[in-house]
Each structure stands twice: as structure tokens, then as C-alpha cells.
Amino acid sequence: TRADMTFTRFVEVGRLVYIDQGKFCGKVAVIYDIIDRNLVMIDGPTTGVSRSVCNVKHIVLTKHTVGIERAATSKQISAALKEEGAMEAFTTSKWGMKIAGQIRRKQ
């Protein structure tokens, strides 16, 4: 059963991810397609992350997901984020507030 599983965060379509390396470092995006076990396609229409291919080693999976289909458009992703409140849930989480504090201290 799922309760007995060791891992709870999986690389899946609709998973909210935090980018910790590369051009969009420090931003949040959504996985909208999986290429292979090392590469995913991400999009962050509300955070300024353009649709791009990203290595799985450069992202950190969050516990938040949105209900989107594979290969969803930016408009569909934006609507799903707004409807389900996933971005607000992340920014109000302990991890999101920690990141916001780090950004404030850098300025």
C-alpha cells in the first residue's frame, strides 16, 4: 500500500518542483512532461520559468501537485495552479517561507 512506501514524492506530471541549479535557480515550476529517467519538461507560467527541458538532478520535488494532463499548455497549467492553489500552498509552507526569508536577507 501507499502508506508502507518509503518514498512519497515522485517525478510525475503535475508535480511542483523547486529549481536549485541553472538559469531559473530559486524558482518554482511544474513538470508537464517526462522525457526519460533523467530529463523532464517544466513550465512556470506564474513564476517566470519558460517551458524548457530540465535535468532531474537540478530540481527538488515538493509535496504539492496539480491535476494536469501530459503536455498541457501554459494556459492550462496557469489555470490549474490558480484553481487548486498550489503556489499559495507552497509559499505559505515552512519551506516556502524559508526561501522567501533567504531572498529578503540577500537584498
Taking only the tens place, the pLDDT of each residue in 30-87 is 999 999 999 999 999 999 999 999 999 999 999 999 999 999 999 999 999 999 999 9
Give the global pTM.
0.90
- pLDDT for position 7: 83
Q: What is the DSSP string of 36-102?
A: SSSEEEEEETTTTEEEEEEEGGGEEEEEEE----TT--HHHHHHHHHHHTHHHHHHTSHHHHHHHHH
Q: How confident is the model at residue 6 (pLDDT cuts 50, 70, 90)?
A: confident
- pLDDT for position 86: 94
